Amino acid sequence: MSLDREHVLRAAAALLTRKATASMDEIAKAAGVSRATLHRHFSGRDALVRALEDHGIAEFERALDEARPEEGDAAEAVRRLIARSEPVAGFLAFLFTENQLYEAGINEGWNRLDIRVQALFRRGQEEGVFRLDLTPAWLTEALYGLIGAGAWAVQDGRVAAKDHTRMVSELLLGGAQRRMER
Amino acid sequence: MSLDREHVLRAAAALLTRKATASMDEIAKAAGVSRATLHRHFSGRDALVRALEDHGIAEFERALDEARPEEGDAAEAVRRLIARSEPVAGFLAFLFTENQLYEAGINEGWNRLDIRVQALFRRGQEEGVFRLDLTPAWLTEALYGLIGAGAWAVQDGRVAAKDHTRMVSELLLGGAQRRMER
Amino acid sequence: MSLDREHVLRAAAALLTRKATASMDEIAKAAGVSRATLHRHFSGRDALVRALEDHGIAEFERALDEARPEEGDAAEAVRRLIARSEPVAGFLAFLFTENQLYEAGINEGWNRLDIRVQALFRRGQEEGVFRLDLTPAWLTEALYGLIGAGAWAVQDGRVAAKDHTRMVSELLLGGAQRRMER
Amino acid sequence: MSLDREHVLRAAAALLTRKATASMDEIAKAAGVSRATLHRHFSGRDALVRALEDHGIAEFERALDEARPEEGDAAEAVRRLIARSEPVAGFLAFLFTENQLYEAGINEGWNRLDIRVQALFRRGQEEGVFRLDLTPAWLTEALYGLIGAGAWAVQDGRVAAKDHTRMVSELLLGGAQRRMER
DNA sequence: TATGAATGAGTCTTCATTCAT
DNA sequence: AATGAATGAAGACTCATTCAT
C-alpha cells in the first residue's frame, strides 16, 4: 500500500472517529491533500469508509496473527494481542464507533476475527486461567471497549502513550481491586 | 421535562449511537414524529445533539448523586454507580461516542462529573482498596469504556440486559483472571 | 365589510409592501390578531393577497368614481383623483409593488381602471390642457409612481401627510421647474 | 466583478422586481444556472439581496458621479443624472421596491447618495431654477418614483426603452401641463 | 378567540462528485 | 497534483395550514 494512502487513511480514521459527519472537504484538509487527490485515492465517501473498515480489520487480523492466540498461556496471549493492537488502535477506535458493522448483517471479515478472539478467551477459561462467570462474548467486547477507551485517553493526552498496553492489559486481566496476596 | 421530549431524546440517542450520521428524517422516523415536529422540539441538528449531551450529563449526575460515591467501601460505591448508570447507559454510550465533548474546550458539566468519578477511584486507592499502578484517570476512562461496551453488547443482543451491571462491575473490579484464593 | 377585516387588510398591506416575504405569523402579529383569526378571515395566504388586490382595486375605483374624471377641467379632475386616492395610498403602494398584476395575464379589474385613468389624460390632451409629447400611458404610469413615492415618503416621515396630495399634484401637473409667468 | 456574477445579479434584479417572493430556484433558473451555483456565488438568499442592494447603490453612485451634479444648470444636471441612471434602472427599481432599505436603520451607502441628490435639488432652488414650494426631499423621492415607474413601464412594454430618459426628465422637470409660453 | 402542537409541502442550503484548467 | 467552477442529489429547515384545547 502506498504511503500516501496509508497516511490519508490514518488521518481520516482520526477525524471520523471524533466527528462522524465530517465532510470530504474536512477529511481532505485533515489529511493535507486536495479534494481531487482524496477522490483519486478513494472513488467516493462510501469507498473511503469501506477502505477504513477493511484496513482496520486487516491490521487487526495481522495483530491477531502475530499474537499467536493459540500458543502458550492465554493471559499472555491476550497481553500480546493488546500490545500488537496498540499501533492500530486509531483504526480500531473507528471500527468500534462504526457500530454499523454489526447492523448490516455483520461484516464477514470482522466476524471471523471476533470468533478468534472469543476462542482465545474460551481457551483461557477451559485452561482455568479466566473466570467462568464472564462469557467469552463479554470479555471480547470488554477488550474492544478498553482498547478504544485507551486510544481515546491517549489521544486526548489523559494517559501516556507508552502506558497504553500495560494499562489496558492490567485492567482487563487483573481488574481494579488490590489483590490480597500481593 | 415533557414525556414527548424525553421519548424523542431516547430514540435519537439510540439511533445516533448506532449510526452517527443518521439524518433528521431518520431520527424523526425513529421517534415516530414528523421532521417538522422534531424541528419544533429542537431548533436544529446541533441543538438536538447538545440536548442529548445535556440530558446524558444530567442523568449521569443523578446516578452519581444517588450512588453516594463518598460513602462506604469504594468498590461498593463503584458498583452502585454502575448499577445506577445502567438505565441511562444508552445516553452514556452516545456521550462516549461523541468525542467532540472533549474537543470544544471540554464541556463544563461533564468535566465536573469526571472529577467526581476520579475522586472516587482516588479515595479507593488511598483506602487500600484499588491498585496504585493504574491512575484514577485511567480507571475512570475504563469505567466509561466498559459501560459503553456493555450498553452496545446489550443493544446488539450479545449479552443479556439483566447481566449488564454485574458484568461491568465484575470485570472492572475483579478483572478477567481467576483468583487463586477465591 | 367588518372593521376587523379592514384593519387586518390595512396592516397586511403596510407590512407586505415593505417586506413581500413576510410570513403569515408576522402578518398576524403586525395586525395584532392571532394566526387562527387571520386564517378565519382569509382562507390562506393566496386568498389574503387576492383580497388585498381586490380591496385596493375597489377602493381606487371608488376614488375614481368620486373624482368624476369626465367632468370639468382635466387637470382639476387629476387633482381630485389624487386627493381621493390619498386615504388608500397604502393599498395602492401595495398594488404597484405587486407587479404580478401585469404579469399573469393582467388583472381584469385593474385593467378597467387603468383605461379610465388613461382616458382622463387623453381627454386633457385633446382639450389642450396636457402636453402631447408625453403619452397617456406614461402619464398614467407616472401618476401611480408618484402616488406610491408619496405614500412611502409619508410613511417614512420624510414628508408631512397633509402635504401628500398637494405635492403629488403639483409635481405631476406643474413639474419641478419654475414657471416664468408665475 | 466577474461577468458571471454581474449576469446573475441582473437576472435576479429583474425577477425580484417583478416577483419579490421568487424562490432561489426561480432565480437560478432565470439566471440560467443551478441552485447550487447560485449558492456558490451568494452564500444565501439574504446575501444575494444584499449584493443586489450594494450593486444598485454602487451603480447609482457611478451615475451620480458621472452626472457631475455640482456643475452647470441644475435642471441639466438632473437630466444627466436620469440619463446616466437609465442603464441601471432595473437595479434602481429593485432598490425602490426593497423598502427594507429604510427599515434597518437606513443603509449608510444609500443615505450618502440620497443627500447628494437632495443637494442638487437644493442648489437648483437656490439658483432660481426649481420651485421653492416642493421640498428637496420630495423632489428626490419623486425622482426615484419616476425612474422606477419608467423602468417598470419599459419592462412591461408600455413605453419604448429609448423614450425612458426623455419621459422621466420631461415629466419631472416640466410637469404634465402645457406651458403657455412655449 | 387565542394558543400550542402537529405535519405535508415546499424552500433553502450543503455535499459529494465531476470536469476543466 | 491542485484548484475552482458547476451541479444533481440529499439533507436541513421553514411555513402555511389544521386541529385540539
Listed as ranges, the nucleotides of chain F within 7 A of a protein C-beta are 1-20
Q: Which residue of chain B comes nearest to A138, CA vs CA? A: B159
What is the CA A24 to C1' E15 distance in angstroms?
A: 8
* B contacts of A145 (beta carbons < 8 Å): 145-146, 148-150
- In this prediction, residue C181 carries a pLDDT of 46
Say yes or no: B56 contacts chain A, CB-CB below 8 A: no
A36 CB below 7 A from strand F atoms: yes
pLDDT exceeding 70 applies to what percent of chain A? Answer: 92
Would A179 be classed as within a structural domain?
no
CA angle A149-A84-A29, nearest 5°? 60
The pTM for the full model equals 0.86
Q: Indicate the average pLDDT of chain C.
A: 89
**Which ranges of chain B have pLDDT less than 70?**
1-3, 99-106, 179-182
Q: What is the CATH number of the domain that holds D98?
A: 1.10.357.10
Say yes or no for a CB contact (<8 Å) between C103 and D177.
Answer: no
Question: C45 falls in which pLDDT band (50, 70, 90)?
Answer: very high
Residues A7 and A61 in one domain: no
What whole-number distance in Å separates Cα of residue A15 and Cα of residue A12? Answer: 5
In chain A, which residues have their Cβ closer than 8 Å to the Cβ of B146?
142, 145-146, 149
Instruction: Write out B31-63 in H/E/C secondary structure.
Output: HCCCHHHHHHHCCCHHHHHHHHHHHHHHHHHHH
The pLDDT value recorded for residue A3 is 67
Looking at the structure, tell me whether residues A38 and A120 fall in a common domain.
no
User: Cα separations (Å) of C47 from C5, C40, C88, C98, D38?
Assistant: 13, 11, 20, 15, 31
Sort A61 into a burial class: Cβ within 10 Å, 0-12 / 13-18 / 19+: middle
Q: List bases in chain E with any atom under 7 Å of a protein Cβ.
A: 1-20
H or E stretch covering B91: helix B89-97
Same domain, A6 and A65: no
Residue C103 in any domain: the answer is: yes
* Separation in Å, CA of D150 to nearest CA in chain C: 8
Q: What is the dihedral of CA D98, D104, D110, D111, to 10 degrees?
A: 130
Highest-confidence range of A64-73, C129-138, C144-153, by mean pLDDT?
Answer: A64-73
Our CA-based measurement puts residue C146 at a distance from the nearest CA of chain D, in whole angstroms, of 6
Does the pLDDT of residue D72 top 90, yes or no? yes
> Which of A21, A103, A139 minimises the CB distance to B20?
A21
Residue B20 lies in a domain: no
- What grid cell was written down for A22? 465530517
Q: A95 and A22 in one domain?
A: no
- Write down the number of H helices and E strands in chain C: 10, 0
Same domain? For C127 and C170 the reply is yes
Q: What local confidence, expressed as pLDDT, does residue C182 receive?
A: 41
Tell me the residue type at B143.
L
The confidence score (pLDDT) of residue B71 equals 95
Q: In which domain, by residue range, is A87 found?
A: 45-174
The residue assigned the cell 478504544 is A148
A178 interfaces chain B, CB cutoff of 8 Å: yes
- When pLDDT is averaged across residues D39-65 and rounded to a whole number, the result is 93
Question: Taking 50 as the threshold, does the pLDDT of residue A9 lie above it?
Answer: yes
The letter for the amino acid at D107 is N
Query: Is the minimum CB–CB distance between B46 and chain A shorter than 8 Å?
Result: no
Higher pLDDT, A101 or C86: C86
Cβ neighbours of C159 in D, within 8 Å:
135, 137-138, 141
* Whole-angstrom distance, CA of residue A156 vs CA of residue D93: 58
DSSP-derived 3-state class of residue B114 = helix
Would you call D75 an interface residue with chain C, using a CB distance cutoff of 8 Å? yes
Mean pLDDT of chain A: 89
DSSP bridge pairs for C177: D130
Task: Measure C163 CA to nearest chain D CA, in Å.
Answer: 10
State the angle between helix axes of C74-85 and C45-67 in degrees (0 to 180), rounded to the nearest 10. Answer: 140
Q: Which residue has the higher pLDDT, B126 or D180?
A: B126
Asked whether residue C34 is domain-assigned, the answer is: yes
C165 part of a folded domain: yes
Within 10 angstroms of residue A71's Cβ, the number of other Cβ atoms is 10
Strand F contact at CB of residue B153, distance < 7 A = no
Verify that C28 and C100 share a domain, yes or no.
no
Mark yes or no for CB contact B175/A178 under 8 Å.
no
Q: Residue A110 is which amino acid?
A: W
Q: Read off the pLDDT of residues A157-170 as tens digits, 9 standing for 90 and up.
A: 888 889 999 999 99
A90/A131 same-domain check: yes
One-letter amino acid for residue B99 of the chain: N
Q: Is the pLDDT of residue D25 over 60?
A: yes
Q: Which of residues 100-119 of A touch strand F (CB under 7 A)?
A: none
Domain-embedded: residue D16? no
Tell me the average pLDDT across D39-61: 93
Is the same domain home to A71 and A148? yes
The Cα–Cα gap between A15 and A26 comes to 9
Nearest CA in chain C to D104: C18
Q: Do C17 and D175 touch (CB under 8 A)?
A: no
Report if residue A114 sits inside a domain.
yes
Share of chain A above pLDDT 90, in %: 69
- Chain C residues 36-95 with Cβ under 7 Å of strand F are 36, 39, 43-46
Q: Give every CB contact of residue C90 below 8 A, 6+ residues apart in sequence.
A: C10, C13, C14, C17, C151, C155
How far is the alpha carbon of A47 from chain B, nearest alpha carbon, in Å?
A: 16
Let me know if residue B81 belongs to a domain: yes
Per the structure, how many domains does chain D have? 1
Give B101 or D48, the one with higher predicted confidence.
Answer: D48
User: A51 Cβ partners below 8 Å, 6+ apart?
Assistant: A9, A42
CB-CB: which of B129, B142, B150 is closest to A177?
B129
Instruction: Identify whether residues C28 and C92 lie together within a single domain.
Output: no
Q: How far is CA C149 from CA A15, C114, D13, D97, in A?
A: 58, 18, 20, 10
pLDDT tens digits, residue range C67-84? 999 999 999 999 999 999
**Closest nucleotide (CA of B48 to C1')?**
F12
Residues C63 and C12 grouped into a single domain: no
A61 and A123 belong to one structural domain = yes
Q: Are D150 and D164 in contact (CB under 8 A)?
A: yes
- State phi, psi for B177 to the nearest 5 degrees: -75, 150
At A46-104, the pLDDT tens digits run 999 999 999 999 999 999 999 999 999 999 999 999 999 999 999 998 988 886 665 55
- Contact yes or no, B with A (3+ CB pairs under 8 Å): yes
Mutation choice for D interface testing from C138, C140, C162 by most D CBs within 10 A: C138
Q: Are residues A38 and A49 in the same domain?
A: no
Q: Which pLDDT does position A110 carry in this prediction?
A: 87
D with B: touching (≥3 Cβ pairs within 8 Å) = no
Asked whether residue B23, judged by its CB, lies under 7 Å from any atom of the DNA or RNA strand F, the reply is yes
